Structure formats: structure tokens, C-alpha cells
Amino acid sequence: MSVRRFWASLSTLALAAAASLGVAGAAVAADSAAVGGYVALGDSYSSGVGAGDYLPDSGDCRRSANAYPQLWAAANSPTSFAFVACSGATTASVASGQLGALDASTALVSVTAGGNDVGFADVMQDCVLGSEATCISSVDTAVGEMNNSLPGKLDSLYGSIRSGAPSAQVVVLGYPRFYQLSGSCIAGLTEAERTAINDASDVLNGVLAKRAADAGFTFSSVVDEFTGHELCSGDAWIHSVTVPIQNSYHPTVAGQSGGYLPAFRSAV
């Protein structure tokens, strides 16, 4: 999905401010979010593909009871909770199929979107099944889409979210880097392929962070949380190629609870 690192982040600049707010400030933020409703939008990284225990009414959207939106809602008891994230969602399908859950009472929104717009699944298929040259070419094509077509799509989606929930805090979450370089893997992709995928992650997350900031939203990286838990780390929180195939390259239960949930919680 060449440039270094496939889905990652800008540095968190709020540590000093957070420290000055202290525990009381964090409690106020959580309480203010819980006053109104929480709506979880997005793609498979928000629906929880790969984390199992899919909710019976979620069908092919594969919304997991172990996904970070479910975990956050269970811990914080918002006045209402709409979990509408769906596997395979693009910016366009989030806009057309999920924003009906928003209204003036929505206080908090989370969203992951953008990976499917740049052909994430096709890139990984090319890298797993094709040559190194095919993989890197596919990654480069995706990077071009990240820089050229994706910003406008994100602007459109973010504008629609703001229109649907004019008073909400909106948290845009990024995507993890997939690979620990020079790690424990002795087969599979080459180091050049892993590097290209990780590099593209950084590009994607940079685009997400910039568009989120311009929309007045909060961007929260998951890169720090997943560091040490990438593929080839020996303690991966991301599935490699697996069965069922849709779980491949998605967070595990630990990736949702130990990666995405803390990243979301820190932003709220």
C-alpha cells in the first residue's frame, strides 16, 4: 500500500498538555463524551474483523464484540451507542451507508477509513502472490492514490460527518505498521517488500492526520501501541495470512484491546 512504512503516524504533541490536565482532566473528557451518544463509523479496523465473536446482526460487516468501539462503550456507558462500522467500507460507503446514525445529540464519533480507497486488499494480494517488483509497484500505485485522490475523499467524508454531528468530538484513528523490520520472520515477503509496506503506512497516516486536523478532528495514531507487536515481532497483534482469509492483516483480539482501545481512549 515506495516511501517508508505502510499505515502509521505523526507524533503525539499533546503529552505535556495531558500531563498538566492530569487525571481529573481525563475524567472530564470521558464524562463529557458519555453525556451524549457515541457513534462508531468506519471499515474493518473499527468493526473488528480478525477479533472474532461477531455480533449476530452484523452479517458481512463482521462487527466484533471485541472491537475497540464495543470495549469503550462497555466501559464508559454513553447515553446511546451506534456501532455501524463495516468490513470493506470506503470513504464513500461510510458516507452513504453509515452517517444516518449521526444526529445533533451525538457527542463522540470514531472512524477509520481510507485503506480500502487505496486498494489495501489488492496490494497485499500482489505482495503475497506476486514478485518483489510487482509488490513494490502495487505499493507505489497505492501511495500515489494516497497523495492525489484520497485527500479529497477524506475532506468530503469529514465534512459530511461534521454536518451530521455538528457538536461531536470526532476521533480519526490510523492504521498500524504491519512489520517489524529485521524481525523474526524467516519466510514470506522480502525485507524490501516489508519496508515498502511500512513506508506506505506512514504516508497514509500522514494524509489522515492532515485531513483530520484541517477538519477540526482529532487524529490518534496506533503505531506506538502496536510497536513490538507487528508481524515478525514474535508477539504479533496482527494476523498474517490466515483462514478465514478476511482475517489476514487485521488486528487480533489483543490488537483491538491493547492497540486500538488505548489509542482511542487517549484521544477522548
Q: What DSSP designation does 231 have? A: B
Q: How far apart are CA 237 and CA 225, in angstroms?
A: 10
Q: How far apart are CA 129 and CA 228, in angstroms?
A: 26
How far from 12 is each of 50, 127, 263, 266, CA to CA, in Å? Answer: 27, 31, 11, 10
How far from 130 is each of 20, 66, 169, 243, CA to CA, in Å? Answer: 51, 33, 42, 20
Is 105 an annotated catalytic residue?
Answer: no
Catalytically annotated residue among 44, 47, 201, 221: 44
Q: How far apart are CA 37 and CA 81, in angstroms?
A: 6
The residue among 241, 215, 242, 195 whose CA lies nearest residue 113 is 215
Catalytically annotated residue among 87, 110, 138, 250: 250
Is 44 an annotated catalytic residue?
Answer: yes
Unique residue bearing C-alpha cell 462500522: 85
- Return the active site residues: 44, 250
